[in-house]
Chains A and B, each alone.
Chain A
Amino acid sequence: MARIEEYVPIVGQAIIDDLRLLAERLKGKVVQHINSTSVGGGVAEILNCMVPLLRELGVDTRWDLIKGGDQFFEVTKKFHNALHGRKAEINEKDFNIFMETSQRNIEEVNIYGDIVFIHDPQPIVLIKKKKENKWIWRCHVDISNPSQKVWQFLKKFVDKYDAAVFSAPTFSQKLSVRQFLISPSIDPLSEKNKELPRETVEIVLKKYGIQKNKPIITQISRFDRLKDPLGVITAYRQVKKYIDCQLILAGGTATDDPEGLEVLEEVKEKAKGDADIHILLLPHNDMEVNALQSASTIIMQKSLKEGFGLTVAEALWKAKPVVASNVGGIPLQIKHKYSGLLCRSVEGAAFALKQFLNSPSYAKKLAANGKEHIRNNYLITRHLRDYMLLSLALYHNEDVVSL
């Protein structure tokens, strides 16, 4: 686990000094985070990283979990899909299961925080325990186009909080409470993002039979239709007519996800006969993902729909030119022609890939801009700052606050 001082060479001493200044202003306050799991998933990953750093900064931060059985988590998975706008059959029984478990959690979970962060829908009903303290609903899900049935059910609870937090402006909803924008972040010292020795990268390339002497185009994503892996292959083929290159499609798919396996088969079928297309199943192998990103000439993220799309931040942090779709949180990370190239179609993606491959100095310049953009806006240190500012914001209504 990295210590706060280890971030100084990356972001500068002054940024860390600012974090300490903010932490001082939160002295005496207990900040309590509550979610549903301590391992696996993005929220647990963020909290595992942030909670120790906040404590080291001097903010009394604690982390509690709610309990829920299989039935409860099946329902919340349905909620999750429905909030993403995917089809999910949800009936009265599901809502009853959710409320029954929530009631048990209301009885069992001890609320002691001056500021209580509730992450995602699973613990949302705990708001019934609100007293004089401040409550924040931190939504990590893209709810730009939610199933109204589920959203209206949850909204009744959200409206009771002091504030809601979303990861992108497009995710926000009409609410009676204050809403804040806090983007997710990457940890530059994590296995997935730290700088790897050249030899490590080469070992990974060798392991997967990837050549070093040909440009490498990579998309890291689970095998999901919304990530458009077939579109990526089509774009690569359009480029390959003019420039000899390789394509890596790497990511995981859960063995219990029948659609993921189906997509993987379709991808394999489409890639058949081309030895320069490498389809790699890499669930939970952060070091290898890091190595593949580091070895790539260009990184793609040609999603049809995207949450925040932190793979873009990961790629830019490695100073890679990125071609990505103009969806979800991606345009926050890439300003077209400033820090990467955005596309809306297969043809647009292919054109952008050719631009980068044929103009390496242009690609390098945009990639360098992209890296600075991530350094300034999407590293864990900015996330720590935002959580502390948000906590302070709840005690002030004015737009300019002198502390």
Chain B
Amino acid sequence: MTQADQNKQPFKFYTRLNISELTGLRASTLTQLLSLIKEVPGSCIYHHTHRFLQLHQYLSPEPPNDFAYWVTEVLGEDELGEKLASIDTIQYSTIRSLREKIIKTTSEYLKKNSLAKFKFAHEGEEFYFIKSLSFILPSKYSANNLAEFKGALEKVTLDSIYFHVFESRLRLEKGTNDFSFWIETSLGNKALADKIARLDPYTYTLEDLRKALIKIVEQEQ
């Protein structure tokens, strides 16, 4: 352990627990979906682009977002579904810019495929807009150095890893994940911080993401 590895600011692990709030808004067609994507709160866009990842954390890599899933499975628009599923979420640092990309992708598809607007979801299969309400709480885990950091990574909930990697970067608009920020600013290890920031977390299951983070930290020790 080098001196730089010692603490300046301990890393405090938080956990994030969320509950779903129904908006009462629903879409039966692609046109309605697009129009509602434009107006719903950012928490709805966040919910539908990240919910699948949390609910089906064992299924990823490449979990479809809810829009992609609905467009493919309910409307049968496979091509648009694929385009929406392959939006590179990690490139977007705000919900606003992610929303714009979804709107652009869907609008362009509708322009080129005018028949797509005539497809209807059956009753009960409509797209229901839901928003995520997140509660952020300090967990009992903290780390003063890389060894403690690795130890905590092994123990915290997937919700905690999720918060520091996804929610913090995109929803709280911090620009990078909390782990990279702490490792660079408090431990002064920019190379390690960059290595973690370069991970595309959207292509891991959450458990595999935990393992990947632990492995990177281990290699550094």
Determine whether B18 belongs to the interface, using a CB cutoff of 8 Å to chain A: yes
Which one of B20-28, B77-85, B98-106, B196-204 contacts A? B20-28
Q: Are A181 and B136 in contact (CB under 8 A)?
A: no
Min CB distance B175 to A, Å, is: 17
Determine whether B10 belongs to the interface, using a CB cutoff of 8 Å to chain A: no
Q: Are B22 and A180 in contact (CB under 8 A)?
A: yes
Chain A neighbourhood of B36, CB < 8 A: none
Q: Are B24 and A179 in contact (CB under 8 A)?
A: yes
Q: Are B135 and A181 in contact (CB under 8 A)?
A: no
Determine whether B58 belongs to the interface, using a CB cutoff of 8 Å to chain A: yes
Q: Given that A14-B156, A22-B137, A402-B136 are known contacts, is A376 also in contact with B22, CB under 8 Å in the complex?
A: no
Q: Are B128 and A170 in contact (CB under 8 A)?
A: yes
**Of all chain B residues, which has the CB nearest A12?**
B157
Chain B neighbourhood of A327, CB < 8 A: 124
Q: Are A373 and B20 in contact (CB under 8 A)?
A: no
Chain A neighbourhood of B56, CB < 8 A: 335, 338-339, 369, 373
**Of all chain B residues, which has the CB nearest A400?**
B134
Q: Are B55 and A393 in contact (CB under 8 A)?
A: no
Min CB distance A106 to B, Å, is: 29
Q: Are A393 and B19 in contact (CB under 8 A)?
A: yes
Q: Are A338 and B57 in contact (CB under 8 A)?
A: no
Min CB distance B216 to A, Å, is: 21
Q: Are A399 and B59 in contact (CB under 8 A)?
A: no
Q: Are B22 and A179 in contact (CB under 8 A)?
A: yes
Chain A neighbourhood of B155, CB < 8 A: 14
Most buried by B among A15, A174, A338: A338
Determine whether A25 belongs to the interface, using a CB cutoff of 8 Å to chain B: yes
Q: Given that A399-B132, A399-B134 are known contacts, is A18 also in contact with B22, CB under 8 Å in the complex?
A: no
Determine whether A401 belongs to the interface, using a CB cutoff of 8 Å to chain B: yes
Chain A neighbourhood of B55, CB < 8 A: 373, 376-377
Q: Given that A170-B128, A336-B73 are known contacts, is A17 also in contact with B140, CB under 8 Å in the complex?
A: yes
Interface residues on A, range: 35 or more
Q: Are A166 and B124 in contact (CB under 8 A)?
A: no
Min CB distance B64 to A, Å, is: 9
Q: Given that A170-B124, A326-B125, A338-B59 are known contacts, is A401 also in contact with B22, CB under 8 Å in the complex?
A: no
Determine whether B191 belongs to the interface, using a CB cutoff of 8 Å to chain A: no
**Of all chain B residues, which has the CB nearest A145?**
B123
Q: Given that A336-B73, A389-B17 are known contacts, is A175 also in contact with B134, CB under 8 Å in the complex?
A: no
Determine whether B159 belongs to the interface, using a CB cutoff of 8 Å to chain A: yes
Determine whether B33 belongs to the interface, using a CB cutoff of 8 Å to chain A: no
Q: Are A25 and B21 in contact (CB under 8 A)?
A: no
Chain B neighbourhood of A373, CB < 8 A: 55-56, 58
Min CB distance B73 to A, Å, is: 6
**Of all chain A residues, which has the CB nearest B73?**
A336
Determine whether B43 belongs to the interface, using a CB cutoff of 8 Å to chain A: yes
In the complex, chain A residues 319-360 whose Cβ is within 8 Å of any chain B Cβ: 326-328, 331, 335-336, 338-339
The size of the chain B interface, using a CB distance under 8 A, is 40
Q: Are A181 and B130 in contact (CB under 8 A)?
A: yes
Chain B neighbourhood of A336, CB < 8 A: 73
Q: Given that A180-B20, A376-B55 are known contacts, is A392 also in contact with B140, CB under 8 Å in the complex?
A: no
Q: Are A18 and B17 in contact (CB under 8 A)?
A: yes
Min CB distance B19 to A, Å, is: 4
Q: Are A21 and B137 in contact (CB under 8 A)?
A: yes
Q: Are B15 and A18 in contact (CB under 8 A)?
A: yes
Chain B neighbourhood of A396, CB < 8 A: 133
In the complex, chain A residues 30-45 whose Cβ is within 8 Å of any chain B Cβ: none
Chain B neighbourhood of A25, CB < 8 A: 137
Complex CA distance for A180 and B47, rounded to whole angstroms:
14
B124's partner among A22, A144, A172, A339 (CB-CB below 8 A) is A144
Complex CA distance for A377 and B136, rounded to whole angstroms:
19
Q: Are B136 and A403 in contact (CB under 8 A)?
A: yes
Chain A neighbourhood of B59, CB < 8 A: 335, 338, 369
Q: Are B136 and A400 in contact (CB under 8 A)?
A: yes
Determine whether B172 belongs to the interface, using a CB cutoff of 8 Å to chain A: yes
Chain A neighbourhood of B126, CB < 8 A: 170
Q: Are A389 and B131 in contact (CB under 8 A)?
A: no
**Of all chain A residues, which has the CB nearest B19?**
A389
Determine whether B185 belongs to the interface, using a CB cutoff of 8 Å to chain A: no
Min CB distance A66 to B, Å, is: 27
Determine whether A278 belongs to the interface, using a CB cutoff of 8 Å to chain B: no
Complex CA distance for A256 and B113, rounded to whole angstroms:
56
Q: Are B157 and A14 in contact (CB under 8 A)?
A: yes
Complex CA distance for A326 and B70, rounded to whole angstroms:
13
Q: Are A403 and B22 in contact (CB under 8 A)?
A: no
Chain A neighbourhood of B131, CB < 8 A: 399
Q: Given that A169-B22, A373-B58, A376-B57 are known contacts, is A400 also in contact with B137, CB under 8 Å in the complex?
A: no
Which residues of A come within 8 Å of B, CB atoms? 12, 14-15, 17-18, 21-22, 25, 144, 166, 169-170, 172-175, 178-182, 326-328, 331, 335-336, 338-339, 369, 372-373, 376-377, 385-386, 389-390, 392-393, 396, 399-403
With A169-B26, A179-B22 given, name 19 new contacts (CB 8 A). A12-B157, A18-B17, A18-B157, A22-B17, A25-B137, A166-B22, A170-B128, A180-B22, A181-B19, A182-B19, A326-B125, A328-B124, A331-B125, A369-B58, A369-B59, A372-B57, A399-B133, A400-B136, A400-B172
Q: List 19 A-B contacts (CB under 8 A).
A: A17-B157, A18-B139, A18-B159, A169-B26, A172-B22, A179-B22, A181-B20, A181-B130, A373-B55, A376-B55, A376-B57, A376-B58, A393-B19, A396-B133, A399-B133, A400-B136, A400-B172, A402-B135, A402-B136
